[in-house]
Amino acid sequence: MVKKRTCIFISGYGSNLRYLINNSRNQNFPIKICLVVSNNKKAKGILYAKKNSIPYLIINTNKRNFENIILKELKKYKISLICLAGYMKIISKKFINAFGKTIINIHPSLLPKFKGLNTFKRVLIDKEKKTGCTVHFVNEKLDSGTNIVQKSFFIDKKDNETMLKNKTQKLEHRAFSEAIIKIFRYN
Ligand code: GRF
């Protein structure tokens, strides 16, 4: 199997990155992680890249041409899939078009519900019965591309924001890999 050369974008803790790295060690898993991009030099996720000898790029998004810098690296590493795993920066339409290949994102809600930030808080305020996570294709509209995998759980009366986050992240760690397998199963 020829594995898809993949870049993971992160901004923080990187727990999704960690699971993807672990799963990609399996020879039947369809991707090889060839590059990690972080817009935050303090992102803990960078340590996972270092530990696993995966090249990483720390990008200063205050630079006017930062997306071009990223695009150049993606080309250099022959990347054909981008996974946004907690990347807290909106990807521009120009970037999406210039990359021209698949970009997927993980979002901590049952899209199309609760696009954007502060999902757990809004889920509680709206007294939702269920919540979960969604892996979806990225298009130029925020959190709006076609869904690939969605996983949900019932909210307990005692759940607070932290508990919802923990429960959601457990599902995310499985959902991201399942989505990747689903996309490339027949390729
Ligand atoms: C995840 O909850 C993801 O849904 C959101 O950002 C978080 C990243 O977590 N987009 P981690 O950095 O992978 O631990």
User: Please, what is the average pLDDT of the chain?
Assistant: 96
| Domain range summary for the chain, segments of one domain joined by + | 4-184
The conformation of residue 160, written as its DSSP 8-state character, comes to -
Task: Check residue 186 and give its pLDDT.
Answer: 59
The catalytic residue among 4, 18, 107, 136 is: 107
Per residue in 20-37, pLDDT (tens digit) is 999 999 999 999 999 999
User: What number is the average pLDDT over the span 126-143?
Assistant: 96
- pTM assigned to the model: 0.96
Q: How far is CA 36 from CA 51, 56, 70, 151, in A?
A: 12, 5, 10, 25
User: What number is the average pLDDT over the span 115-143?
Assistant: 97
Task: Check residue 185 and give its pLDDT.
Answer: 77
Confidence of residue 187 (pLDDT cuts 50, 70, 90): low
Q: Please check the confidence at residue 39 and state whether its pLDDT lies above 60.
A: yes
Is 77 within 8 Å of 5 (Cβ atoms)? yes
Per residue in 82-113, pLDDT (tens digit) is 999 999 999 999 999 999 999 999 999 999 99
Q: Which of 11, 63, 66 shows the shortest CA–CA distance to 38?
A: 11
Q: Which of 11, 15, 16 to mutate to test the pocket of ligand 1 (most atoms within 8 A of CB)?
A: 16
How far apart are the C-alpha atoms of 132 and 32, rounded to whole Å?
27
User: What number is the average pLDDT over the span 179-185?
Assistant: 93
Task: Check residue 1 and give its pLDDT.
Answer: 83
How far apart are the C-alpha atoms of 14 and 28, rounded to whole Å?
23
The CATH-assigned architecture of domain 4-184 is: 3-Layer(aba) Sandwich (3.40)
Cβ burial of 28 (10 Å; 0-12, 13-18, 19+) is exposed
User: What number is the average pLDDT over the span 71-76?
Assistant: 98
Task: Check residue 83 and give its pLDDT.
Answer: 98
Q: Which of 36, 169, 170, 174 to mutate to test the pocket of ligand 1 (most atoms within 8 A of CB)?
A: 169
Ligand 1 contacts CB of residue 132 (under 6 A): no
Is 173 annotated in the active site? no
